[in-house]
Amino acid sequence: MLNAGKAVKVSIYVSEGSTHHGASTYSTILDFLFFRGIAGATVFKGIAGFGADHHLHSTSLIDISDRLPLKIEFIETPEKVDEILGKLQEMVGSGMIEVQETTIVKAPQTSVAAPALSTPVKIEGKARMMRIFIGESDRWQGKPLYEALVSALRAHDLAGVTVHRGILGYGAHRRVHKDKPLHLSRDGSILLSVIDTEEKLQSFLPIIESMVIEGLVVLSDVDIIKYSHRTLETDEGGSPTEPAKL
């Protein structure tokens, strides 16, 4: 919660075309800040500029550059910034982060904050599976609810999520939903499957409560036999690349 007094202003500089794990860096950072309960953030787009490579980028009616500078700016308490700064440094790739002390003269209206940042843990042995059943037509703040949930899960460092689309089924309203040739239902069943530790899934439940108005959420015990992934290297723009082959 922001109050009048001393605070910290954070400015993050990235290029418009840079990506993080396959998604645009600036949108990934914005989702991360939103679901971490940051009071507010703004993305500014530059029309010309250059960075560490000293290549000048500018807009043109003929050639619209995807390397233009973007600045993401937010103001928070020093404690909150300390919690998320490490993750932000990982996400910006070759970009830059600037932190300045500032003073809040008038505090904004506040809302319920998201759970605090949790430290990623290695998963092995016993774990929990969360399954979230919603409708394909369900929405949250103007976009499909299942997409918003994936963004929220990613921002909270959950190990992974898979979205399944049902081809036949019914729910609490007893209406049968079925895919038919030449007629694709927009109110089919959507299932999100998430596996992680009990602690991390429990910490995410308040977010689900606020986002899922109508649906079903269940938890069950699972045994993890193997969970591994390879680390992708990044290019100068922060885009993931395949490891070099010998």
**Could you tell me if 64 and 32 are in contact, meaning their C-beta atoms sit under 8 angstroms apart?**
no
In this prediction, residue 172 carries a pLDDT of 57
Q: What is the DSSP string of 199-232?
A: HHHHHHHHHHHHH-SS-EEEEEEEEES----PPP
Domain boundaries, the chain: 5-104, 125-224
In angstroms, the CA 123 to CA 209 distance is 25
Of 115, 96, 87, the C-alpha closest to 209 is 115
Residue 174: CA atoms inside 13 Å, Cβ hemisphere, count? 0
Residue 234's pLDDT is what?
A: 46
Domain 125-224 has CATH 3.30.70.120: yes
CATH code 3.30.70.120 for 5-104: yes
Per-residue pLDDT at 235: 47
Structure tokens at 96: 């830059």
pLDDT of residue 15: 86
Mean pLDDT per block of 10 residues along the chain (246 residues) reads: 86 89 89 89 76 54 59 92 93 91 78 50 74 91 92 88 80 57 62 92 93 92 74 48 42
DSSP assignment of 149-181: HHHHHHHTT-S-EEEEE-SEEE-TT--EEE-BT
Contact 96, 49 (CB under 8 A): no
pLDDT at position 152 is 92
**Cβ proximity of 137 and 145 under 8 Å:** no
Q: What is the reported pLDDT for 50?
A: 59
- Provide the pLDDT for residue 245: 39
Count Cα atoms within 13 angstroms, Cβ side, for 122: 5
CA distance 98 to 14: 12
Report pLDDT for 52.
56
